[in-house]
Amino acid sequence: MAKTTFTRRALLRTSALAAGALAMPSITRAQSVTEMTMLAWYGQAEPDAVAEFEELHNVKITPKYYVGGEQMLALLAQSPAGTYDLIHADAEYVQQLVRANFVEKLDAEDFPFDDFFPEFHHFPGHWHNNDLYAVISRFGFLGISHNLDAVSVKEAMSYDMLWDAKNKDKVGHFDWHLPNLGVLSLRDGNGEPYDIGSDAWAKLQDTTLSLKPQVRGFYDYGGVLSSLKSGEVTVMPGIGEWITGVLRRDGANVTTTIPEQGGIQFTESFSVGRGSRKAELARKFIQHVSSPEGQYNLANLNVFPAIIPSKSGWDRMIAEKPDDARHLGMFQGDGNAIDLIRKGRIHIRQLPLQQDLADWNDFWSAYKSA
């Protein structure tokens, strides 16, 4: 047998080759990470929202964040099919996504609707011709958000309090027409706040303009948070726990009350983008966020807390975060979120049915400058 002599140089070369071979699997794994794209409101693709799914499926989700449904539709219209694997949208815009052929049809059997409250099995707007195109992820109620040091829950039980003398220059608006005009439409006594005729529309404009002397300002998301926290404003119509829940995390003494005239429900959902080459992974993502674990996570996102449709998720929230659950309306008994829906006090946010969306937008612009 021939004798083998190992020099220091040969040994180093051999060690380097071995180290390279050991490193190859991790390099291969890194190179095989699948990239997915998501078009969404801010926060839906941040690490607290997607990291678990990314690790489970070796994917990286890259977001394109938008502000408002109109911007979402514009981005889709100018992008080739397949640009976005996942689309996160407010429920009132899903039918527009369907009509524009921006989303794929889904199979309801793929998702755990049996764990959802019955109100969300066939949610309006998510279905078209009995076909499913979007799955609800979470929701929340809009009413009157207020500083408890200045406005009590009892006072906030009527939208009429917005006109009280003590609230002059203390009313703020989140700068979006749909939620604000929706709650003021309820104040006017419209049982369907977004389905109003010409007379009711004229009255709603008069009601809104009459509130202007009370208004301190119009704010974006960050401005809403800072103005309520600082006390610059003490009451805001048309927002909810998606704001006050964030502020309470920082110790602010604020809450959201649903007045006797009713509140508005915003609803978030996920769809698979038309032409996605990762459609199967996108479907798995929607399954993941619909699971009890995924639902619990969605209820507690850093961007803001929200109510979830999962009964199992409610049980876990009640057990592990009872204070947060109660503020959101996820508790057992009278007055919880589902009870409010069943009693008819909550109305789903929609696009206006008897006016053009542009009419509402134009009026809102005129109101701000009045």
Question: Is the same domain home to 327 and 290?
Answer: yes
Give the pLDDT of residue 286: 98
Q: Do 131 and 164 reside in the same domain of the chain?
A: no
In a domain, 304, yes or no: yes
- Looking at the fold, whether 273 and 257 belong to one and the same domain comes out as no
In a domain, 17, yes or no: no
Give, as one character, the DSSP assignment of residue 273: B
Look at residue 333 and tell me whether its pLDDT is greater than 80: yes
Is the same domain home to 190 and 285?
no
Q: What percent of the chain has pLDDT over 70?
A: 92
In this structure, the answer to whether residues 162 and 205 fall within a common structural domain is yes
Eight-state DSSP code of residue 159? G
pLDDT tens, position by position, 268-300: 999 999 999 999 999 999 999 999 999 999 999
Q: Within the chain, what is the greatest distance between any pair of CA atoms?
A: 105
pLDDT-based confidence at residue 3 (cuts at 50, 70, 90): very low
3-state class (DSSP) for residue 246: helix
Q: Which of 265, 301, 306, 326 is nearest to 141 (CA)?
A: 265
The domain total for the chain is 2
Does one domain contain both 93 and 158? no
Looking at the structure, tell me whether residues 254 and 274 fall in a common domain. Answer: no
Of 5-19, 185-199, 299-313, 342-356, which range is least confident?
A: 5-19
Q: For residue 23, tell me if it sits in a domain.
A: no
- Whether 360 and 298 map to the same domain: the answer is no
Burial 13-34, CB ≥16 within 10 A → b, else e: eeeeeeeeeeeeeeeeeeeeee
Strands 215-219 and 171-174: parallel
Q: Is residue 338 part of a domain?
A: no
Chain centroid, CA 125 distance in Å? 15
Would residue 337 count as lying in a domain?
Answer: no
Q: Within a domain: residue 187? A: yes
Residue 105 CA from chain centroid, whole number: 21
152 and 254 fall within a common domain: yes
The distance of Cα 350 from the centroid of its chain, to the nearest Å, equals 15
Predicted confidence (pLDDT) per residue in 27-39, tens digit? 444 558 999 999 9
Which pLDDT belongs to residue 31? 58
Mean pLDDT of 106-129: 97
Give residue 15's pLDDT band: very low, low, confident or very high (50, 70, 90): very low
The C-alpha atoms of residue 262 and residue 264 are separated, in whole angstroms, by 7
Residue 19 lies in a domain: no
CATH number at residue 195: 3.40.190.10
Q: What's this model's pTM, rounded to 2 decimal places?
A: 0.89
pLDDT digits (tens, 9 = 90+) for 36-58: 999 999 999 999 999 999 999 99
Strands 135-147 and 263-272: antiparallel
Tokens of 23: 């490193």
Nearest to 102 by CA among 275, 269, 279, 270: 275
User: Is residue 357 domain-shared with residue 225, that is, in the same domain?
Assistant: yes
My answer on whether 157 and 249 are in the same domain is: yes
**Average pLDDT over all residues of the chain:** 92
* Domain that residue 218 falls in: 140-265+347-369
Residues in the chain: 370
Report if residue 10 sits inside a domain.
no
The pLDDT of residue 73 is above 90: yes
> Is pLDDT of 9 > 90?
no
Indicate whether 107 and 159 sit together in one domain.
Answer: no
Report which of 221, 272, 226, 262 is spatially closest to residue 242, judged by C-alpha positions: 221
Q: Specify the pLDDT at position 23.
A: 47
